[in-house]
Amino acid sequence: MKKTLIYPEKHPAPRGAYSPGILVEDGAAKTLYVTGQLAVDRSGNVVAPNDAAAQTEFVFGLIGSILESAGMGFSDVVKLQTFLTHMPDYAKFTLVRDRHFSQTRPASTLIEVKGLAREGCCVEVEVTAIK
């Protein structure tokens, strides 16, 4: 079994002992585990504080770059887990999510949380992809 840490160029440097993604290859099967992504730019600044629509767009951009770095795409995502700090933002989140998964519908969990790791962040998304 081979494990490769995935660090796309446009991502902020991790603040701690974690990777944006880990690609696990076992024979012909490849599984990518993507850490929960927040709307934080390369300089470490929160993007569009408390704006769920803009943050969701940004987060899906980060996820897309991790998938691409591992030779995958949104069609390879089998599991999606979302954390929102304000459940009424679900409709804004759904508009973006559904654009990326209109054909493939991964297993999905959405949880409302009191807060996220960075103040001003209101959306966090993690995925698992298999190819």
- pLDDT for the residue 16: 81
- The beta-carbon contacts of 27-31 under 8 Å, at least 24 apart in sequence, are 29/130, 29/131, 30/70, 30/71, 30/72, 30/130, 30/131, 31/128, 31/129, 31/130
- Distance, CA of 57 to CA of 115 (rounded, Å): 19
Q: What percent of the chain has pLDDT over 70?
A: 100
Report how far residue 44's alpha carbon sits from residue 67's, in angstroms, rounded to the nearest whole number. 21
Amino acid, res. 83: F
pLDDT tens readout for residues 56-81? 999 999 999 999 999 999 999 999 99
Residue 102 has pLDDT above 90, yes or no: no
d(CA 76, CA 90): 23
The CATH number, out of the four listed (2.60.120.260, 3.30.1330.40, 3.10.20.30, 3.40.50.1820), of the domain defined by the range 2-130:
3.30.1330.40
The domain segmentation of the chain, as residue ranges, is 2-130
CA–CA dist 126, 59 (Å, integer): 9
- Supply the mean pLDDT for the chain: 95
